[in-house]
């Protein structure tokens, strides 16, 4: 038996690569949730900086709250999707099936969604703030 192979003849690097991919997606989801929290609280920060309304407590409603909440939900969804895809990947390996990439790349979908969120944040900063 060659070195680096499990008793089943499987290369352990394949499973380890799958776990690294899972952990990268978990980091991405956590970062999205943290960024969403910051965006949701951005409106509160802006109200705190406003000199004319120093005594008024800011409400937690507005575009930044909804966009931030959407990012938190999206981050949680990314983590769930990553766990599901990793489960399917491990099941394929256990069955001895070859890897076939999905039709839609999760990375591209998440990148497009984040780009749209960035465009919305830019529009909010440029057009809606005084």
Within the chain, residue ranges assigned H as helices are 12-40, 42-49, 63-95, 106-123
pTM attached to this predicted model: 0.72
Residues 121 and 9: their CA atoms lie apart, in Å, by 51
Quote the distance between the C-alpha of residue 129 and its chain's center: 27
pLDDT per residue as tens, the chain (130 positions): 455 555 566 788 888 998 999 999 999 999 999 999 988 887 777 667 666 655 555 555 677 788 888 889 999 999 999 999 999 999 998 988 877 777 888 888 888 988 988 888 788 778 766 5
């Amino acid at each position: 038996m060659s070195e680096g192979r499990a008793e089943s003849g499987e290369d352990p690097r394949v499973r380890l690569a799958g776990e690294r991919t899972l952990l990268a997606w978990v980091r991405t989801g956590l970062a999205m949730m943290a960024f969403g929290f910051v965006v949701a609280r951005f409106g509160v920060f802006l109200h705190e900086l406003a000199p004319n309304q120093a005594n008024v407590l800011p409400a937690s409603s507005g575009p930044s709250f909804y966009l931030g909440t959407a990012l938190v939900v999206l981050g949680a969804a990314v983590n769930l999707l990553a766990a599901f895809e990793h489960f399917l990947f491990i099941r394929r390996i256990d069955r001895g099936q070859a890897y076939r990439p999905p039709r839609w790349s999760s990375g591209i979908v998440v990148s497009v969604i984040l780009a749209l969120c960035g465009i919305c944040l830019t529009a909010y900063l440029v057009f809606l703030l005084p």
